[in-house]
Amino acid sequence: MNIGIIGTGYVGLVTGAVLSEIGHVVTCLDINEEKIDTLKKGQSPIYEPGLDEILVRNIEANRLFFTTSTQEAFAHADIIFIAVGTPQGEDGAADLSYIQQAAKDIAINVDHNVIVVVKSTVPVGTNDIVEEIIHANMTDDFQIHVVSNPEFLREGHAINDTFHGDRIVIGAENAFARDKVESIFKPLNIPIMHTNRRSAEMIKYASNAFLAVKISYINQISNLCYALGADVNAVADGMGMDHRIGRAFLNAGLGYGGSCFPKDTEALAYLARENDVKLSIVESAIYANDEQRHIFAQKVINHFKGKILGKKIAILGLAFKPNTDDMREAPSIMIIKELVARGAVISVYDPVVKKTSFLDDIEVSYATTKEECVSGSDAILLVTEWKEFIEANWTELMTFSNNGVVFDGRNILKF
């Protein structure tokens, strides 16, 4: 099938790459010319294991194209995916301006019948709005259906998640459009769930918020474990053996970050407030998540009995989680800011994030190796659980520091 994709962020790019890999002809559209030029060369602008190979293979096979031209992207498209960002607005609500613009672009530029699939995470009711915008701006009487198809991929595992997801959710109000969208994904052999558009939109938010609640829950339990001398990893293992609970997403640590959980929990809480519905569990998860970073920073400050001025702190890991270069809502940012505000001298090392604009206004020194980072430090903070850190020889690594004090923000070290 011929597919157009608006937006080459994580979701759009990985979706485009995978759909071309299973035989569709895909044209990805983005307004950023530099990004499109990079992509045309088969280079991914994001760090995502396995993505470059798929890009190169399908560009060479003439199944994957990149363009900044709306006409080119839509010219032969049977289906157009909207995969643009829905960033968090000031009041916590999702900012839908990119979605609205995409809907207008489709209405103005499409010259044939087409199915529009909304992949971006959007508040309940947005697919209806997209359909209204398209119909209000259409220049001719084409048949256009809008279908919701939320994305569940994780950064760092995006390719694998897209090929081997637990489910594909298709929210449609029209059987023809539903079946056509289903047929795109058939080769993936993933269970497909049919529902209406509003429920599909809600499945995405409710899933992400549930996982966020699970993380905040285990983090608060871990704080209690710490106070009472219990081992949160053993507690999580024991809880996880109950199949009704499951072990996944029970890793206690510095809380969730990234481009999805923080934004989606806020957007869901906002939706609830707007509709006079209590969603206190999600509100509490947000609060607990924020608090978790302060608790960690405070533990470090307390270790030095409040006298952290001039102390050299080594930060291992900047990205919000391993296998990504994404710094959005990374716990490292807040922890570093809090320690710098108290006068600490910060040295950082991340296997992939070599420098970040998120720390532009903060004085930190970027080390090129973990050993350099730790050298002469008064405390080592493990912030992101990269494999390089998990597999490091810590006995040796600690000899580079002044005293071998380690704060394991991910409960991962075994000594």
Q: Measure Cα distances from 118 to 300, 331, 389 in Å.
A: 44, 30, 38
Shortest distance, position 219 Cβ to ligand UDX, whole Å: 7
d(CA 404, CA 392): 14
Examine residue 250 and tell whether it contacts ligand UDX (CB under 6 A): yes
Closest CA to 320 of 311, 332, 306: 332
User: For ligand UDX, how many residues bind (rule: CB under 6 A)?
Assistant: 18
Examine residue 247 and tell whether it contacts ligand UDX (CB under 6 A): no
d(CA 401, CA 391): 18
What part of residues 179-218 is at the interface with ligand UDX (CB under 6 A)?
Answer: 208, 215
| Among 257, 317, 351, 409, contact with ligand UDX (rule: CB under 6 A) | 257
Type of residue numbered 149: N
Type of residue numbered 224: L
Binding segment toward ligand UDX, per CB under 6 A, in 57-65, 66-74, 254-262, 391-399: 254-262
Catalytic residue, chosen from 28, 225, 260, 373, is 260
Are the C-beta atoms of residues 9 and 85 closer than 8 Å to each other? yes
Examine residue 249 and tell whether it contacts ligand UDX (CB under 6 A): yes
373 is catalytic: no
Tokens 């707007």 locate to 274
d(CA 297, CA 381): 10
**Per-residue binding letters, 14-53, with ligand UDX (x by CB under 6 A):** ----------------------------------------
Q: Toward ligand UDX, which CB reaches closer, 88 or 251?
A: 251
| Among 81, 217, 270, 320, contact with ligand UDX (rule: CB under 6 A) | 320
d(CA 193, CA 177): 14
The strand ranges marked E within 311-375 are: 312-316, 345-349, 364-366
Shortest distance, position 254 Cβ to ligand UDX, whole Å: 7
Binding segment toward ligand UDX, per CB under 6 A, in 140-148, 151-159, 333-341, 391-399: 151-159
Shortest distance, position 214 Cβ to ligand UDX, whole Å: 7
Shortest distance, position 311 Cβ to ligand UDX, whole Å: 26
What part of residues 154-183 is at the interface with ligand UDX (CB under 6 A)?
Answer: 154-155
Strand arrangement of the beta sheet that strand 192-195 belongs to: 64-67, 25-29, 2-6, 79-82, 114-118, 144-148, 168-171, 192-195
The strand ranges marked E within 101-238 are: 114-118, 144-148, 168-171, 192-195
Can you spell out the DSSP letters for 282-312? Answer: HHHHHHHHHHHHHHHHHHHHHHTTT--TT-E
Closest CA to 28 of 78, 71, 65: 65
Binding segment toward ligand UDX, per CB under 6 A, in 226-234, 248-256, 372-380, 399-407: 248-256
| Among 130, 146, 232, 260, contact with ligand UDX (rule: CB under 6 A) | 260
Shortest distance, position 395 Cβ to ligand UDX, whole Å: 26
Examine residue 83 and tell whether it contacts ligand UDX (CB under 6 A): no
Examine residue 378 and tell whether it contacts ligand UDX (CB under 6 A): no
For the annotated catalytic residues, the residue numbers are 260
**Residues binding ligand UDX (CB under 6 A):** 151-155, 208, 215, 249-251, 253, 256-258, 260-261, 320-321
